[in-house]
Amino acid sequence: MSDIVTAAAEAVDYDSWVRTNDGGKIPQSSADDRIRSMLEMLDLEPGLSVLEIGTGSGYSGALLSAAVGADGHVVSIDIDSDLVARASALHRQAYNTNIEVHAADGFGGWASAAPFDRIVAWTTPDVLPEPWIKQASAGAVVLTPVKLADVASANALVRCIVGDNFENSELHPGSFIEMAPDVITELGLPVRYVNASRLVEDAPPWWISAHMLHEQPRDVADKLLDKVREAAPQADFLPVDTATRLAFNAFVLARTNWPASLGGPIGWGIGVATSDSIAVVLPDGAGLTAGTSEAFDLLAELVDEWHEFGEPRYDRLEPTFTPCADGWQVRPKVRPATA
């Protein structure tokens, strides 16, 4: 970890920001090591101007405030006015005078304080927002989770340099709560691209999302989700460590035209789906298939292809950027193995 992030972390007490008065932890907080590792990727320096999307507990903003110093400036935005009020009070108590916190839809950035040298987001937009890039200075570093496909929870971190064609951009594993114009109250159910869902008492809801289902009648997805709920996971379908499995998920999204995801009490998984079948890999490496055998056969082919490619990790995945109405659609591409 760089000296500037280390010094900032040593100066800011994590628990004082994320803990509630009764000793609990606010839901909108992330692990301190995860926050610090992302800030490391920003290449922070004293005197920089930073835009933060997703105030959360305020801890990340406090680290940014310490890192850029008295000559720098931080603007933090969150859709939740209660979080903004809480973080603002904590910053005043900590005498962090170089940070301002606003309640607003983060998708629009904060034009009045632009340009920004660094932009970091702790919430996932469906595209790389055009306002952020317009408000960034030339050569600015932007680090944000983004969607890699038009299915729920198909997310990763993209780090890009603002300039022509976003050269030298990188993909990394990572995901945060979805960006939305209103405060999200059901944290277990994705905001976008869900084709069917079922609430479960005292457990995460079931849901299914698939590119091939988006143009189908709702009852098609409902029927497939019912089959998912009855299916039994196949143990050791892809017996790999977590980092490799996440890379495999991104590989699937890069190589298939039928991306899919599902979630429920068993966890969530990425895979492929047709209109009457789905096959995904669950967090423990088990496979879950439902419907006809078509999706399972497609996923098995992708597993074989992944092995043939040398089981690429994220260092062989690169983002592509396609202009769209609200910004840039980000999709993964697999680089060939070096000789």
Beta bridge partners, 164, equal none
**Alpha-carbon torsion, ordered 124, 212, 319, 251, to 10 deg:** 110
Catalytic annotation on 30?
Answer: yes
CA distances (Å), origin 193, targets 88, 145, 178, 270: 34, 17, 12, 14
> What distance, in Å, lies between the first and last C-alpha atoms of the chain?
31
Backbone dihedral region for residue 119 (phi beyond 0: left; psi -120 to 50: alpha; all else: beta) = beta
Q: Which of 2, 16, 29, 30 is catalytic?
A: 30
What is the C-alpha to C-alpha distance for residues 58 and 197, in angstroms, rounded to an integer? Answer: 33
Which 3 state secondary structure label does DSSP give 180? coil
The sign of the dihedral angle between the CA atoms of 245, 251, 255, 256 is: positive
The catalytic residues are 30
